[in-house]
Amino acid sequence: MNREEIIKKINTFLIEEFEVDGSKITPDAPLKETLEMDSLDFVDLVVVIESNFGIKVKGEDFVGIVTFQDFYDFIINRVSN
């Protein structure tokens, strides 16, 4: 899976899971605010990441993730390793 395919897959499940308008998902948009995430949403996001990409994610992995680009880079780096 290449970078563009991973980003498309991420955006698709974010739109479905969080019922957000896809046009609001841009690389520099703030992840938490755009998705209106609370602590339970983070649990849902971890489950979706694990089921879609087969990688384990911990809460502390999200510490440096502010924008969608940060999130994309995190997933791409984990999938590539």
Q: Name the residue ranges covered by the structural domains of the chain.
A: 3-80
Checking if the pLDDT of 81 tops 80, the result is: no
Radius of gyration of the chain measured on its C-alpha atoms: 12
Q: Write the CATH number of the domain with boundaries 3-80.
A: 1.10.1200.10
| pTM for this entry | 0.91
Segments in the chain forming alpha helices (H): 3-18, 31-35, 39-53, 68-80
Q: Looking at residues 19-29, what average pLDDT do you find?
A: 96
Whole-number Å distance between alpha carbons of 36 and 76:
23
What percent of the chain is modeled with pLDDT above 90?
80
Helix axes 39-53, 68-80, angle to 10 degrees: 40
* CB 6 within 8 Å of CB 71: no
